[in-house]
Amino acid sequence: MDLIFRAAGALLGTELSDPVDLGGSTRSTVLRCRTADGGSVIVKSFHDEAEGMRCFASEAAGLSLGLAGPELLGVDTAVPLVVMADLGDAPTLADVLLGDDPQAAAEGLLAWSRGLGRLAAGSVRRRADLTRLWTRYGGGLRSWEDEPWMEQNADALLALLDGTGIAAPRGLAGELAEIRTAAAKEYPAFTPGDTCPDNNLLTPDGLRLIDFETACFQSVFLTAAYCRMPFATCWCVFRPPPGLAEEVEETFRAEVVTAYPALAEDAVWQAGMRRAIAIWTVHTTVRLLPRAAEDGPLHRTRRPVPTRRQVLRHRWELASMIEEYPAFAETMRLLLKEVAGEWDAPPLPGYPAFENRLIG
């Protein structure tokens, strides 16, 4: 802690005090610290193992672009840590979705999708800048953009099916390869990486994004899929009210078509969205199914929260409708029948903010 304080203070040219632990992760520690002039800053330090160092490089590079997130005040590559402006205690998108104000929840979702769409559209010419910044901070580590995670997930899914006694439909491996090949190259744009509800602050100045530990360029569809699924890799997953998810998705789309006019074509958009849903469904299956033998909440402390089985079944139901990839769709139906059919978990409920309430 003393090392972190000294390094952060040296970056700012001031003494820091009164640290408040804001959580962090297994890879990082996040502190709110008071400055000598009575203000406050956020200090985020990273563990010095490989994964922590990759997250540090991503955070430092992503914030250095200056496209989104809090203002970056300093970077120390030796500790390593970053110092950021303090955005205060604004509610997160998760707070309003789990709250009791449907209007605030709807407005928050639309602000989130609009902000992400504008960020994507405004970033398309900055890919080389992020590569240069990663080289500065990454120390030779492989970037998230170069990580073969889709291929690894596809291999893991085939192994999981074998382990559960489900014979993979003929052609599944080829379809998975076709899906990821298309998704890896189409319409790239910047994303902070983890755009889940608890990483989106609804401030008086508008939406502000935090957590750039996996910032990279990826297909806009992989971000847009968070609107439809919803929140492809997150714990804050419930059913939005009818019509709202479509409005949220169209809000995102309206922004990104300014950079990629081809996305105005429905055939292009819908095909890309289906591929992204397939990719994220494989990701969720690989991550959650091995832990679903005993059901449990998707988040360790937040409540309300769905269970692993509820989310898996919801993902499989949506993905089972991707008929242009028949082997993949059949795989989802087999999982629903052979695996989810044995579960007694209730269906995924609606977001608490909208339950039994009308949007004014």
CA distance 200 to 108: 9
Model pLDDT, residue 184: 84
pTM reported for the whole predicted model: 0.94
Average pLDDT, the chain: 94
Strand stretches in the chain, DSSP E: 16-21, 28-35, 40-46, 72-76, 81-85, 188-191, 200-203, 206-209, 216-219
The three-state secondary structure class of 28 is strand
pLDDT level of residue 357 (50, 70, 90 thresholds) = low
* Length of the chain counted residue by residue: 360
CA distance 350 to 347: 10
Mean pLDDT of 262-285: 98
Q: Would the pLDDT of 210 be above 90?
A: yes
- Domain limits, the chain: 2-85, 93-354
Residue carrying structure tokens 């209730």: 346
CA distance 295 to 307: 6
User: Domain spanning 2-85: which CATH class is it, in words?
Assistant: alpha beta
CA distance 193 to 191: 5
Helix or strand run (H / E) with residue 164: none
43: number of CA atoms within 13 Å, CB side?
30
Model pLDDT, residue 5: 85
Least trusted range by pLDDT, from 36-50, 113-127, 271-285, 345-359: 345-359
pLDDT level of residue 356 (50, 70, 90 thresholds) = low
Mean pLDDT of 178-200: 93
Model pLDDT, residue 44: 96
Q: What is the pLDDT of residues 20-64, one digit of tens each?
A: 988 877 789 999 999 999 999 999 999 988 899 999 999 999 999
Under DSSP, the state recorded for 31 is: E
189 and 124 Cβ atoms separated by less than 8 Å: yes
- Angle (deg, nearest 10), helices 308-319 and 326-334: 150
Q: Would the pLDDT of 228 be above 90?
A: yes
Q: Would the pLDDT of 359 be above 60?
A: no
Q: What is the pLDDT of residues 279-337, one digit of tens each?
A: 999 999 999 999 999 999 999 999 999 999 999 999 999 999 999 999 999 999 999 99
Q: Would the pLDDT of 360 be above 70?
A: no
Residue carrying structure tokens 């449990």: 296
3-state secondary structure 188-226: EEEECCCCCHHHEEEECCEEEECCCCCCEEEEHHHHHHH
Mean pLDDT of 258-268: 98
Model pLDDT, residue 125: 96
What CATH topology corresponds to 93-354?
Aminoglycoside 3'-phosphotransferase; Chain: A, domain 2 (3.90.1200)
CA distance 88 to 72: 15
